[in-house]
Chains A and B, each alone.
Chain A
Amino acid sequence: MTERSRDLQFRLGTGAFALALVLIVCGILFILIDQSMASIQKFGLDFWRTSIWDPVAGQFGALPFIWGTLYSSILALAIATPIAIGIAVFISELCPGRLRQPLVFMTELLAAIPSIVYGLWGIFVMVPWVRFLETSLPDAIRRLPLFSGPPLGLGMLAAALILAIMVIPFTSSVSREVLKSVPVAQREAAYALGATRYEAIRAALYYARTGIVGAVMLGFGRALGETMAVTMVIGNNPKVALSLFAPQYTMAAVIANEFTEAANRLYVAALIEIGLVLFIITLIVNSLSRLLIWSMAGRMMVVEEPATPPPLESAA
Chain B
Amino acid sequence: MRRTLGLASLAVVAAVAALTAQKTQINGAGATFPYPIYSKWFAEYNKLHSNVEINYQSIGSGGGIQQLTKETVFFGASDAPMTDQQLKEAPGPVLHFPTVLGGVVPVYNIPNVKTELKFTGPVLADIYLGKITKWNDAAITKLNAGVTLPATDITVVHRAEGSGTTFIWVDFLSKLSPEWKSKVGAAASVNWPTGVGGRGNEGITSLVNQTPGAIGYVELIYALQNKISYGTVQNAAGEFVKASVASVTAAAAGATAQMPADFRVSITNAPGKGVYPVSSFTWILLYENPKDKAQAKTMLDFMKWALTDGQKYCAELGYAPLPAAVVKLETTALGKIKSS
What is the minimal beta-carbon distance from A194 to any residue of chain B, in angstroms?
57
Closest residue of chain B to A263, judged by CB? B62
Digit string of A267-289 for contact with B (CB within 8 Å is 1, else 0)?
Answer: 01000000000000000000000
Please indicate the chain A residues that have their CB under 8 angstroms from the CB of B211 in the complex.
131, 152-153
> Is A128 a contact partner of B196 (Cβ separation < 8 A)?
no
> Is A236 a contact partner of B210 (Cβ separation < 8 A)?
no
> Is B210 a contact partner of A262 (Cβ separation < 8 A)?
no
Closest residue of chain B to A238, judged by CB? B191
> Is B66 a contact partner of A263 (Cβ separation < 8 A)?
yes
* A260 touches B (CB below 8 Å): yes
> Is B196 a contact partner of A131 (Cβ separation < 8 A)?
no
Q: For the complex, what is the distance from the CA of A43 to the CA of B93, rounded to whole Å?
A: 32
Stretch at the interface among A48-56, A76-84, A171-179: A48-56
> Is A235 a contact partner of B189 (Cβ separation < 8 A)?
no
> Is B196 a contact partner of A247 (Cβ separation < 8 A)?
yes
* A237 touches B (CB below 8 Å): yes
B234-279, CB < 8 A from A: none
* A231 touches B (CB below 8 Å): yes
> Is B203 a contact partner of A123 (Cβ separation < 8 A)?
yes
* A127 touches B (CB below 8 Å): yes
> Is B196 a contact partner of A264 (Cβ separation < 8 A)?
no
What is the minimal beta-carbon distance from A226 to any residue of chain B, in angstroms?
14
Please indicate the chain B residues that have their CB under 8 angstroms from the CB of A152 in the complex.
155, 196, 211
Q: For the complex, what is the distance from the CA of A122 to the CA of B206, rounded to whole Å?
A: 11
> Is B189 a contact partner of A55 (Cβ separation < 8 A)?
yes
Stretch at the interface among B114-122, B179-187, B223-231: B179-187
* B190 touches A (CB below 8 Å): yes
> Is B189 a contact partner of A258 (Cβ separation < 8 A)?
yes
Closest residue of chain B to A228, judged by CB? B199
Please indicate the chain B residues that have their CB under 8 angstroms from the CB of A261 in the complex.
60-63, 161-164, 188-189
Given A150-B153, A260-B60, A263-B66, A54:B191 Cβ within 8 A: yes
What is the minimal beta-carbon distance from B79 to any residue of chain A, in angstroms?
9
Q: For the complex, what is the distance from the CA of A124 to the CA of B161, rounded to whole Å?
A: 19
Digit string of A123-155 for contact with B (CB within 8 Å is 1, else 0)?
Answer: 110011001000000000000000000101111
Interface core residue of B83, B89, B160, B188 (most chain A CB under 10 Å): B160
* A101 touches B (CB below 8 Å): no
> Is A55 a contact partner of B190 (Cβ separation < 8 A)?
yes
Digit string of B290-320 for contact with A (CB within 8 Å is 1, else 0)?
Answer: 0000000000000000000000000000000
> Is B191 a contact partner of A55 (Cβ separation < 8 A)?
yes
Please indicate the chain B residues that have their CB under 8 angstroms from the CB of A260 in the complex.
59-60, 62-63, 161-162
> Is A52 a contact partner of B191 (Cβ separation < 8 A)?
yes
What is the minimal beta-carbon distance from A243 to any residue of chain B, in angstroms?
13
Q: Which A positions have Cβ atoms within 8 angstroms of B? A: 52-57, 59, 123-124, 127-128, 131, 150, 152-155, 231-232, 235-237, 247, 253, 256-265, 268
- A-B pairs with beta carbons under 8 Å apart, 7 shown: A54-B191, A56-B191, A154-B196, A236-B196, A247-B195, A261-B189, A263-B188
